[in-house]
């Protein structure tokens, strides 16, 4: 095994989130799936952007958000993802590097532009996401830093990026590089929509022993296993994965590691402002504990604390000192 360069290196969509509050009536008026994620084309992106109120631009992307949380907790991180050579691409590059995350993937010239996710946030904090994948769906396999992947404790992959063919091939190559180097592979299922399109691929990766740490929420667990009952779904999937982590929103989260089940309650917060990034930051806290050798119980607590911080404000990246919040909780 080579020397360690990163605690976690991730491959994901390089996206800039465009967020705006809205009333529930607008969700219905625009025909959006409340609380879900929908892929849109250029025309759809323009239509929805025109319908938005005053918006805030914040660099996002599921795996990149997770890395931002990890970096905030002191982990060393690298990111691989595709932006275009345009204004939003520059915004993304600046933001991720400012968070202390290495990002060296060359920008792509020409169309399509950098990806963006138009997020409508209703008064209860629920987010409805509409994603234009743009340049992010053209991440080529030759953009991978295979040496960096082989020198990282954990390779983290987001299911959202499995949809386009080119980055899917890149992620398969990255999994091979990590496995060959004896490193761990973590995977987040991302959304039931993605599972409906690529569930067979995900189940094959799991059955082949390619995934060491699997992140899901309760809806994704049901979609992947076909089990509506939470415990039945967990029982069906957890024996196939060394570490299985499932979040349940206000009901906390469960992890099954080597057959042992652990649970954590959701952290109390004054008000849920925006649930964007909750799962991403939960994964960040859990992985930060994992790479430093914490118990599964402490990893769950770190995930819960990180998720609670991000849902207390707009945006999918932490604003408070996660180290201090975790230290106060763990003692």
DSSP of 166-229 = HHHHHHHHHHHHHHHTT-EEEEE---HHHHHHHHHHHHHHHHTT--SEEEEEHHHHHHHH--SS
Whether 167 maps to a domain, the answer reads yes
Predicted confidence at residue 3, as pLDDT, reads 83
Q: What is the DSSP string of 157-173?
A: EEGGGGSSHHHHHHHHH
Per-residue pLDDT tens over the stretch 131-143: 898 999 999 999 9
- Per the DSSP assignment, residues forming a β-bridge with 113 are none
Strands 243-247 and 213-217 turn out to be parallel
- Distance, in Å, from the CA atom of 56 to the CA atom of 241, rounded to the nearest integer, reads 38
- Distance, in Å, from the CA atom of 301 to the CA atom of 308, rounded to the nearest integer, reads 11
Question: In angstroms, how far is CA 60 from the centroid of its own chain?
Answer: 9
Say if CB 146 and CB 180 are below 8 A apart.
no
Strands 115-121 and 15-21 turn out to be parallel
- Per the DSSP assignment, residues forming a β-bridge with 247 are 217, 253
Residue ranges in 18-164 assigned as alpha helix (H):
24-29, 42-51, 62-72, 87-98, 146-150
Cα separation of the two ends of the chain: 34
Whether 37 maps to a domain, the answer reads no
Domain count, the chain: 1
Say if CB 263 and CB 283 are below 8 A apart.
no
Q: What is the pTM (predicted TM-score) of this model?
A: 0.90
Going edge to edge, which strands form the sheet with 115-121? 37-39, 127-132, 115-121, 15-21, 56-60
Question: In angstroms, how far is CA 314 from the centroid of its own chain?
Answer: 17
Whether 287 maps to a domain, the answer reads yes
Whether 41 maps to a domain, the answer reads no
Whether 166 maps to a domain, the answer reads yes
pLDDT in tens, the chain (331 residues): 568 999 999 999 999 988 899 999 999 999 998 888 888 998 998 899 899 999 888 888 999 999 999 999 999 999 999 999 998 999 999 999 999 999 999 999 998 999 999 999 999 888 898 989 899 999 999 999 999 999 999 999 999 999 888 999 999 999 999 999 999 999 999 999 899 999 999 999 999 999 999 999 999 999 999 999 999 999 999 999 999 999 999 999 999 999 999 999 999 998 888 888 899 999 999 999 999 999 999 999 999 999 999 999 887 889 999 999 999 999 7
Whether 145 maps to a domain, the answer reads yes
Whether 52 maps to a domain, the answer reads no
| Mean per-residue pLDDT over the chain, rounded | 94
Predicted confidence at residue 164, as pLDDT, reads 86
- Distance, in Å, from the CA atom of 68 to the CA atom of 138, rounded to the nearest integer, reads 23
What is the greatest pairwise CA distance in the chain?
55
Give the CATH number, domain containing residue 207. Answer: 3.40.1190.20
- Domain span holding position 90: 6-14+61-112+136-330
Per-residue pLDDT tens over the stretch 62-104: 999 999 999 999 999 999 999 999 989 999 999 999 999 999 9
Whether 325 maps to a domain, the answer reads yes
């Amino acid at each position: 095994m080579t020397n360690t360069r990163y605690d976690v290196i991730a491959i994901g969509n390089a996206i800039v989130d465009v967020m705006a509050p809205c009333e529930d009536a607008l969700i219905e008026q625009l025909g959006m799936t409340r609380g879900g994620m929908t892929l849109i084309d250029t025309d759809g992106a323009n239509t929805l952007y025109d319908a938005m109120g005053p918006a805030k631009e914040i660099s996002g992307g599921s795996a990149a958000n997770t890395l931002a949380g990890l970096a905030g907790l002191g982990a060393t991180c690298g990111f691989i993802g595709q932006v275009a050579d345009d204004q939003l691409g520059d915004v993304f590059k600046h933001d991720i590097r400012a968070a202390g995350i290495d990002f060296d993937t060359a920008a792509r010239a020409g169309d399509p532009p950098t990806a963006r996710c138009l997020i409508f946030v209703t008064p209860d904090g629920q987010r409805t996401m509409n994603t234009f994948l743009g340049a992010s769906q053209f991440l080529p396999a030759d953009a991978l830093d295979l040496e960096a992947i082989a020198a990282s404790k954990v390779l983290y992959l987001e299911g959202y990026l499995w949809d386009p063919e080119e980055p899917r091939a890149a992620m398969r190559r990255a999994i091979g590089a990590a496995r060959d180097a004896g490193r761990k592979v973590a995977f987040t299922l991302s959304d039931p929509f993605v599972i409906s399109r690529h569930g067979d691929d995900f189940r094959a990766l799991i059955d082949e022993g390619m995934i060491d740490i699997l992140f899901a929420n309760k809806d994704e667990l049901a979609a992947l296993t076909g089990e509506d009952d939470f415990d039945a779904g967990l029982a069906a999937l957890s024996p196939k994965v060394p570490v299985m982590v499932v979040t349940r929103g206000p009901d906390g989260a469960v992890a099954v590691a080597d057959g042992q089940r652990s649970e954590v309650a959701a952290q109390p917060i004054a008000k849920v402002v925006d649930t964007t990034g909750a799962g991403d930051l939960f994964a960040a806290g859990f992985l930060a504990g994992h790479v430093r050798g914490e118990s599964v119980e402490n990893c769950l607590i770190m995930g819960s604390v990180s998720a609670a911080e991000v849902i207390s404000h707009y945006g999918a990246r932490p604003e408070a000192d996660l180290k201090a919040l975790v230290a106060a909780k763990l003692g």
